[in-house]
Structure 1
């Protein structure tokens, strides 16, 4: 389905990082997970920075289309909610592991 004019918005959707087969085959695991976490946080920061920049443009009257800011703000909100949910699940999993008796 195509929406006319969406190309002019410059909207770049969040794309989850893909793991290469070579990286998946490695046995050290910890480094790749850490890289994925850092990459996700970097992407969250860039989405929030874009939203903040558009908010400043909207406040100063330099933004020609308020839809750009609305989309960016919604994307930043959803990305932040996803990041918080993942963090909560990780903390919950860590707590469960710490409760296990050895």
Structure 2
């Protein structure tokens, strides 16, 4: 299957933002700090914003499908599946981050 026509269904592939090295200044002008926590926080916020956008699009298409204004039902099906998969991925990443945090907290100094 060719992916050259994927733009026609409105799918925008996720392109992760670049992360500046530790100690480098962030694009907003502030310093990200030596630990790079600011970069991770920015990645999390960006991911949550993208998740919200995907879910909003699926919700809008669901309303259009329910009211009969949607010309192609497959657009809603694709958007709903994309929203479900994105939500599952976000929850999995959150769970892994919590596991890592708990592991760090159990370390003895």
Q: TM-score, normalization: structure 1? A: 0.85
Separation (CA, whole Å) in 1 of partners of 2:70 and 2:81: 17
How far is 1:5 from its partner? 6.7
Separation (CA, whole Å) in 2 of partners of 1:66 and 1:42: 25
Q: Which has the higher helix share?
A: 1
Separation (CA, whole Å) in 1 of partners of 2:94 and 2:15: 16
Cα deviation 1:66-94 (Å, max 9, x = unaligned): 10000000000000000000000011111
Separation (CA, whole Å) in 2 of partners of 1:92 and 1:71: 32
Gaps of 5+ in 1: none
How far is 1:18 from its partner? 2.9
Structure 2 equivalent of residue 9 of structure 1: 9
Separation (CA, whole Å) in 1 of partners of 2:5 and 2:107: 55
Gaps of 5+ in 2: 24-32
RMSD between superposed Cα atoms in Å: 1.9
Greater relative contact order, per chain length (Cα 8 Å cut-off, separation 6+): 1
